Amino acid sequence: MAIDVRQAGEQPVVYQTAATTRADFGAALGKILPYVWGRTEEHGGHPAGPPFVRFLTDEEPFEIEAGLPVEGPVDAGPDIETGNLPGGRHAVYTHVGAYDGLPEAWAQLKAWLTERNETPAGPGWEVYLSDPGAEPDPAKWVTEVVIPLA
């Protein structure tokens, strides 16, 4: 199990919110992320890292924020929201493999928090370090599962 505790600064982001099920998750991201990316660039924004999805609820249908970290505040239009991923201490589980293994990664990270009496400071998120378009082998995909800590 690859879990680290990291310190991070607050990260400006642009995103869209959506409700989705596990079955429709990939299709939702396939629509939202390219749109957010395009609108951000059209309005002079610059991505500052890989895309993310923050889970506002733990049960289906999931309420999510799907988007990109940006170098600084950007107004990408009325249908794109802005905000920040929180800074501070984060528990990070590095998952290598297909996305269908992510529910188990979340479960292991939550168990790790319980074992150490750590308290989440808000909703967690996934950071997609691999681009499936550039790396076709799902066994090589790398995703970070992040939970901010109180």
In this predicted structure, what is the pLDDT of residue 73? 84
Cα 61 to Cα 41: distance, rounded to the nearest angstrom: 30
In this predicted structure, what is the pLDDT of residue 6? 97
Residue 67 pairs in a beta bridge with 15, 52
In this structure, whether the domain defined by 3-148 belongs to CATH 3.20.80.10 is answered with: yes
Mean pLDDT by 10 residues, the chain (150 residues): 91 97 93 95 93 95 96 88 96 96 96 96 97 94 97
- Comparing CA positions, the residue from 53, 46, 54 lying closest to residue 72 is 46
Q: Where are the domains of the chain?
A: 3-148
Cα 98 to Cα 26: distance, rounded to the nearest angstrom: 12
Cα 113 to Cα 134: distance, rounded to the nearest angstrom: 33
